[in-house]
Amino acid sequence: MTDDQQQCDPYSENLAELALGILTGRARAATLAHVDSCAHCAEELEQLSRAADAVVSVAPELEPTVGFEVRLFNRMGLGDGPVPVPALDQGRRGPFRLVAGAPRWALASAAAVVALLVGLSIGWSIGSPSGSAHPTEAVAAVATAALKEHGNTVGTVATYGGATPWVVMTLDDSSAYGTLTCEVVTDNGVTHRIGTFSATYGHAAWDAPLKVAPQDVRKAEVVSANGTVIATASLS
């Protein structure tokens, strides 16, 4: 054992706790003082700190309650009302991102928010991507309809216009599970694939950029992985 190692020994055992931010009192003060004068321990502490920081990053991503953004942006003073969800960060968000295991309350509230939004003229005053002031834009539901499975209502579809048309869908108590595809059929009979999403025990709530003009949409379908149409909504 070298003299240097002997010098470090009393402190190196504290480095993990120091990195985790849980070392207290004299031990903390003494270890910090040693690290200040020991390059080896400073490097060790840096590496342990990276590992400690990374532990909180392992928590799974979860979709917040529907309406989370609206409430947050209002608190931040960024908007007077609900904000279209898919407008700016589609690349990272990914269409129809639904987090597996999303709590039931989130799914139930999705339907409530859809109901709340339908027919309302929503003020949107979030800044534009360039950062310039965005004029308040009226964004109202173009159409809303029930998703039907074997004649039973199992969800809701609502389409929205404005600068970035989008669609909001919810499924509740349907037979759908696993990876599903959302398709819309436009006036001219063409079917457009909007994206894929997942349902857990027949429940799902999601939104996505619409890709087509909302007023042209006549039908929305939820299609299973084997191509079976599970639920349909007529939007006219």
Tell me how far, at minimum, the Cβ of 1 lies from another protein, in Å.
Answer: 19
Nearer to another protein, 75 or 150 (CB): 75
Nearer to another protein, 103 or 119 (CB): 103
Tell me how far, at minimum, the Cβ of 7 lies from another protein, in Å.
Answer: 19
Closest by Cα among 195, 209, 231, 199 to 102:
199
- DSSP assignment string, 55-93: HGGGSPP-PPPTTHHHHHHHHTTS-SS---TTSS-HHHH
Nearer to another protein, 52 or 118 (CB): 52
Going by the DSSP 8-state scheme, the letter that residue 197 receives in this structure is: E
- Return the SS3 of 18: helix
Q: Distance between CA 167 and CA 165 in Å, rounded?
A: 7
The secondary structure element, H or E, covering residue 196 is: strand 191-199
Tell me how far, at minimum, the Cβ of 59 lies from another protein, in Å.
Answer: 4
Tell me how far, at minimum, the Cβ of 93 lies from another protein, in Å.
Answer: 6
Contact residues toward another protein (CB under 8 A) are 13, 16-17, 19-24, 47-65, 68-69, 71-73, 75-76, 78, 83, 87-93, 97, 99, 101, 103, 105-106, 126-131, 134
Tell me how far, at minimum, the Cβ of 99 lies from another protein, in Å.
Answer: 7
Ramachandran bin of 172, using left for φ above 0, alpha for ψ from -120 to 50, beta for the remaining angles: beta
Tell me how far, at minimum, the Cβ of 80 lies from another protein, in Å.
Answer: 13
Nearer to another protein, 38 or 70 (CB): 70
Closest by Cα among 60, 59, 69 to 207:
69
Nearer to another protein, 49 or 153 (CB): 49
CB 171 within 8 A of CB 182: no
Nearer to another protein, 92 or 150 (CB): 92
